[in-house]
C-alpha cells in the first residue's frame, strides 16, 4: 500500500529544507507520500536537521544532501531524477546587511538552482517561493481594488526606501521567469504574505522572534517588518505550494494570503486573546496605503485559508511548547 503511494507521487526536491517554512513543506510532502530530497548547507549539523528526521515517513522517504546557493552545480545531484523542485531557500537578512549581501544570494542562488534543474530530464515543474512584497510595494494604487498577481512592485520603490529584502525577492522572481521562459522550464511561483504558525525547528525564525517580542511588550522588531501586512498560516502556505505543483493547469503567479491587518488591529486581537501578556497597546500609524489582496486565483484550486486567530494560536502554542515563551 505504502509503495503504491510513493510510486504515484514520485520524488521532489526542497531547497533549504531545514528552514522554518521549508521544514513544514517537507512535512506536508512526506505526509502526502512523496519521496523528498532536501538540500542543506551542512547535513551533518545535528541541531539544524534533527527536527526533520523526526517527521513521519522521514526515515523511509527523506534524503538530505549538501548544497550551497552560491556554488554553481551544487544542486545537480539533489535535483537529478526529481519530478518537481520547490525552491524555498532564500536569505532572510536584517537591516545591517548591505544591498549586495542581500541581492546576490537571492538572485544568483535562484539561478544556480534553475541551472541545475535545466540538466534534469525528469523535471516536470519548478515551484518558486516568492513573496507578496513583489506585488504590494506600489504607490498610488486604487485602495478599492485588491492587489492581484498581474502587477509587480516597482524596483525603484524599494531602491528609494532601501528595502533590500523585498527588492531581492522581486528581482529573483523576475530572473527566474526570464531564465525559465528562455529554457523551457515549467515554472509556477507562490507569493505568500507573512507566514505565521508552529515551528518544527527549535531555532526561532525571524518572524517567530518578532511575534515573541510582541508578547513580551516589544513593538519595534515587529514594526520594522511593516505596518500593514498580510498573514497566512504556515500549513496553508505549504498546501498552496503542493496544489500548484500537482495541478497541471496551474500557470503563472499565485498570491497566498489569508488576512491583511494594520499592526494596531493585530495587537488589539492579541491583547484580547492573550490578556496576560504585555502586548504593546499602541503602534505608530501605518505609513503605507490601504490595500487588500485578491487571492481568488489560488482559492479556485481548492484552498480555504485558516483565520488569523488560528495561525497566531498555533504560533504561540509552539513558542510555549518549545519553551521560548513562559506561561502567563
Pairing of strands 11-14, 35-40: parallel
Quote the pLDDT of residue 182. Answer: 98
C-alpha cell belonging to residue 111? 539561478
Quote the pLDDT of residue 4. Answer: 39
- The pLDDT of residue 290 is above 50: yes
Element spanning 207, H or E: helix 206-215
Nearest to 196 by CA among 17, 317, 35, 31: 317
Q: What is the pLDDT of residues 82-136, one digit of tens each?
A: 999 999 987 665 556 678 888 888 999 999 999 999 999 999 999 999 999 999 8
- The pLDDT of residue 287 is above 70: no
Q: What is the pLDDT of residues 9-31, one digit of tens each?
A: 899 999 999 999 999 999 999 99
State the maximum Cα–Cα separation within the chain, in Å, rounded to a whole number. Answer: 56
* Domains within the chain, CATH numbers bracketed: 11-195+232-258+292-300 (3.40.50.720)
As a whole number, mean pLDDT of residues 153-168 equals: 89
- The pLDDT of residue 211 is above 70: yes
CB under 8 Å to 172, separation ≥6 — which residues? Answer: 90, 106, 107, 109, 110, 130
Band the pLDDT of 44: cuts 50, 70, 90. confident
What Rg value do the Cα atoms of the chain yield, rounded? 19
Amino acid at each position: 500500500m505504502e509503495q503504491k503511494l510513493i510510486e504515484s507521487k514520485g520524488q521532489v526536491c526542497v531547497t533549504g529544507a531545514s528552514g522554518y517554512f521549508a521544514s513544514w513543506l517537507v512535512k506536508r510532502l512526506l505526509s502526502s507520500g512523496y519521496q523528498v530530497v532536501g538540500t542543506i548547507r551542512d547535513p551533518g549539523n545535528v541541531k539544524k536537521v534533527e527536527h526533520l528526521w523526526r517527521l513521519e515517513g522521514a526515515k523511509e522517504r527523506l534524503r538530505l544532501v549538501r548544497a550551497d546557493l552560491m556554488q554553481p552545480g551544487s544542486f545537480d545531484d539533489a535535483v537529478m531524477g526529481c519530478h518537481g523542485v520547490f525552491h524555498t531557500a532564500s536569505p532572510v537578512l536584517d537591516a545591517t546587511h548591505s544591498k549586495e549581501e542581500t541581492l546576490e544570494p537571492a538572485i544568483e542562488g535562484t539561478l544556480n538552482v534553475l541551472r541545475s534543474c535545466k540538466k534534469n530530464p525528469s523535471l516536470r515543474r519548478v515551484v518558486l517561493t516568492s513573496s507578496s512584497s513583489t506585488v504590494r510595494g506600489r504607490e498610488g494604487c486604487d485602495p478599492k481594488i485588491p492587489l492581484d498577481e498581474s502587477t509587480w512592485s516597482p524596483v525603484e520603490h524599494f531602491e528609494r526606501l532601501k528595502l533590500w529584502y523585498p527588492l531581492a525577492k522581486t528581482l529573483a522572481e523576475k530572473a527566474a521567469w526570464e531564465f525559465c521562459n528562455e529554457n523551457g522550464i515549467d515554472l509556477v511561483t507562490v507569493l505568500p504574505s507573512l507566514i505565521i504558525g508552529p515551528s518544527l525547528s527549535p531555532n526561532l525564525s525571524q518572524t517567530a522572534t518578532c511575534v515573541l517580542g510582541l508578547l513580551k511588550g516589544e513593538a519595534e522588531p515587529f514594526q520594522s517588518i511593516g505596518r500593514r501586512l498580510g498573514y497566512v498560516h504556515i500549513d496553508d502556505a505549504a498546501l498552496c505550494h503542493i496544489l500548484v505543483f500537482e495541478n497541471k493547469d496551474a500557470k503563472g503567479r499565485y498570491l497566498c494570503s489569508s488576512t491583511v491587518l494594520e499592526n494596531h488591529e493585530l495587537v488589539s486581537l492579541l491583547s484580547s486573546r492573550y490578556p496576560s501578556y504585555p502586548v504593546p497597546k499602541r503602534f505608530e500609524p501605518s505609513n503605507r496605503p490601504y490595500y487588500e489582496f485578491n487571492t481568488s486565483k489560488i482559492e479556485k484550486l481548492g484552498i480555504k485559508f485558516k483565520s488569523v486567530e488560528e495561525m497566531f494560536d498555533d504560533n504561540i502554542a509552539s513558542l510555549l511548547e518549545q519553551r521560548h515563551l513562559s506561561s502567563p
